[in-house]
A and B are shown apart, each in its own frame.
Chain A
Amino acid sequence: MKVNPHRFKEFIVIAVVVAVLAVLPVLGLPRTWLLYIFLFFIYLALANMWNLLSGYCGLISLCQPAFIGLGGYTLVIFTWNGLPLYMGILGGAIVAAIFTMLISSAVFRLRGIYFAIGTLVVPEALRVVFFIWRPVGEQIHGKGAGYMIKGLNDVSMTHIYWLAIFIGIVSIVIMRLTLSSKMGMGLAAIRDNDSAASSSGINIFKLKLFAFVISAFITAIAGSIFYMFQGYIAPESGFSMKWTMTMILATVIGGISTEEGPIIGTVIIVFLHFLLARYAGISLIIQGILLIIIMLLAPQGIMGFARKTKIYQSLLRLTAGDSI
């Protein structure tokens, strides 16, 4: 493979940015700043994986919190049984991937908005299951089925912060690899016209499932890392619609179906969280209003808007790569 000089420059820039962010905790940056950078990378991974499904496969998935919750709860079950944290994270990702395979034959029968509604009930159902079922530990009376995550004593906050950076970057790399591969072309074909795709030899079910499994796997890891930071997981938070809201907002504001969109959108979302931190009650209302404004003014998001401008187009021409 030839090394594209533009790609190489891009790689250097990303590597430098990541290195700077990674050493920040060692330099003694305030904890709240680190918290927002941590959230940025977690949300980035979530938004990227939602964009993969919604923006590139036409699968408007509203069941992403199911993967986050499953990741978190698997981590709990593993650590309560004395297994290492990393095994718990990986285990959660595998559980989420297997769970995806189980529900796929049902939800893939639904298309478009029906798929969205069909997937919406999945985290709700799991929330109820984990509310009633206590997989480890003693049965408790009263409400809630929350768990502390064990084995966190040896893990520093810096360590968890690095894990978040890692999963955020991995999600970017996965997007890049997937979209530039044969699979990415196949997914684009399915999104544009599924009957023509299938009569051109594309196994729609298999390709969609593959994307769904990748999305679930990474989403579960990001969820587990978030709950390592939190130290505590409850069904109401793990399987919450708020997760879905965050990833939709980040992707749509930044620009759905674009690779850069979720990155820009996540920056804005995290900044919003920072601004609205004191107004938790009305934060969702403000975010919702923002979403409506964006959809009315720039339905393709910031990136979609930027792409139409002349400066961006001339930049694109300068850096045109090896596209088919």
Chain B
Amino acid sequence: MAETTILSIVDVTKRFGGLFAVNDLSLDIHEGEAVGLMGPNGAGKTTLISVISGQYKPEIGAVIFQGHDISGLPPHRICRLGIARTYQIPHPFINLTTRQNIAVAAMYGKGIGKTAAAAEADKILDIVELTDKKDVRAKDLEALTLKRLELARALATDPKLLLIDEVAAGLTEVEIPNFLNILKRIRSMNITYIMIEHVLKVMLEAVDRVTVIDYGIKIAEGTPQEVMEDEKVIKAYLG
């Protein structure tokens, strides 16, 4: 396969005080790929996502998106360039309805007007199967619905690269196939994604390749099956 690189993380370091959250990490993501990010708690996965999406600025290294150095750009600029993220703990606009939540992301992320954004929101509601909740205010939604709303809001900004931070956590056995379906739909929209996930079943089915990090350092890389059998990975998880 002749693959174009959509995102290059080049020797990125991000510290909090003396603690290395991400330590000299490099990673290439190809267009159309689905990449999993694994690692024990505190390994630096969410920090890496925050560095890519602009919440944090890398101290050393660069993040290259479609050939442009985006490190240090503010989050809204990075979003408009085509990188969207979800938050592990849902960050809804609580006083807005589900549909308004999605519409406002479409307005600013895609730079479109109110009417076009409303139509776009209806499309996204369909994709994430939230149409029946469209007029409910976000503060009245239950936790699992909020996770889908996270995905919806990110999708509304029309991303080329989607960063998914543990959306499946807390799903029951029955809900997982449903969630995998949504991910399939996202892939069919030509969206590349990086996904942090602890639910193995989701990881095994929804990504092509897994990168495992621990203490901010990449310790393994490969297909989900390969990685699960890697000794360093087993050691990192089980100690």
A193 touches B108 (CB 8 A): no
Known: A193-B91, A324-B103. A200 touches B96 (CB 8 A): no
Known: A195-B91, A196-B93. A201 touches B157 (CB 8 A): yes
Q: Is A294 close to B, CB under 8 A?
A: no
> Which chain B residue lies CB-closest to A195?
B91
Find chain A residues with CB under 8 A from B97 CB.
324
> Which chain A residue lies CB-closest to B84?
A199
Find chain B residues with CB under 8 A from A188 CB.
93, 95-96, 100, 104
**Among A192, A199, A202, which residue has the most Cβ atoms of chain B within 10 A?**
A199
Q: Is B79 close to A, CB under 8 A?
A: yes
Give B90 Cβ to nearest chain A Cβ, in Å: 9
Known: A185-B100, A188-B104, A324-B99. A200 touches B55 (CB 8 A): no
Mark each residue of chain A from 291 to 324: 1 if its CB lies under 8 Å from any CB of chain B, else 0.
0000000000000000000000000000000001
Give B40 Cβ to nearest chain A Cβ, in Å: 25
Find chain A residues with CB under 8 A from B75 CB.
195, 198-199
Known: A185-B100, A186-B104, A196-B87. A203 touches B93 (CB 8 A): no
Find chain B residues with CB under 8 A from A196 CB.
87, 91-93, 153
Q: Is B53 close to A, CB under 8 A?
A: yes
B103 touches A185 (CB 8 A): yes
Contact check: which of A181, A201, A324 meets B76 at CB < 8 Å?
A: A201
Find chain A residues with CB under 8 A from B153 CB.
196, 200
B80 touches A201 (CB 8 A): yes
Find chain B residues with CB under 8 A from A181 CB.
114
B53 touches A201 (CB 8 A): no
Give B147 Cβ to nearest chain A Cβ, in Å: 13
Q: Is A204 close to B, CB under 8 A?
A: yes
Q: Is B58 close to A, CB under 8 A?
A: no
B79 touches A200 (CB 8 A): yes
Find chain B residues with CB under 8 A from A195 CB.
55, 75, 87, 91
Q: Is B85 close to A, CB under 8 A?
A: yes
B96 touches A192 (CB 8 A): yes
Q: How large is the interface on A (under 10, 10 to 19, 20 to 34, 35 or more residues)?
A: 20 to 34
Find chain B residues with CB under 8 A from A193 CB.
91-94
Find chain A residues with CB under 8 A from B157 CB.
200-201
CA A130 to CA B113, docked complex, whole Å: 45
Give B3 Cβ to nearest chain A Cβ, in Å: 27
CA A97 to CA B16, docked complex, whole Å: 39
Give B67 Cβ to nearest chain A Cβ, in Å: 21
> Which chain A residue lies CB-closest to B54?
A199
A202 touches B87 (CB 8 A): no
Mark each residue of chain B from 111 to 132: 1 if its CB lies under 8 Å from any CB of chain A, else 0.
1011001100100000000000
B76 touches A189 (CB 8 A): no
Contact check: which of B55, B85, B108, B114 meets A324 at CB < 8 Å?
A: B114
Find chain A residues with CB under 8 A from B111 CB.
201
B residues 103-159 touching A (CB-CB < 8 Å): 103-105, 107-111, 113-114, 117-118, 121, 138, 153-154, 156-157
Known: A182-B114, A324-B100. A201 touches B93 (CB 8 A): no
Q: Is B177 close to A, CB under 8 A?
A: no
B109 touches A201 (CB 8 A): yes
CA A193 to CA B110, docked complex, whole Å: 19
Q: Is A268 close to B, CB under 8 A?
A: no
CA A201 to CA B77, docked complex, whole Å: 7
Give B135 Cβ to nearest chain A Cβ, in Å: 10
Residues in chain B within 8 A of chain A (CB atoms): 53-55, 74-76, 79-80, 84-85, 87, 91-97, 99-100, 103-105, 107-111, 113-114, 117-118, 121, 138, 153-154, 156-157
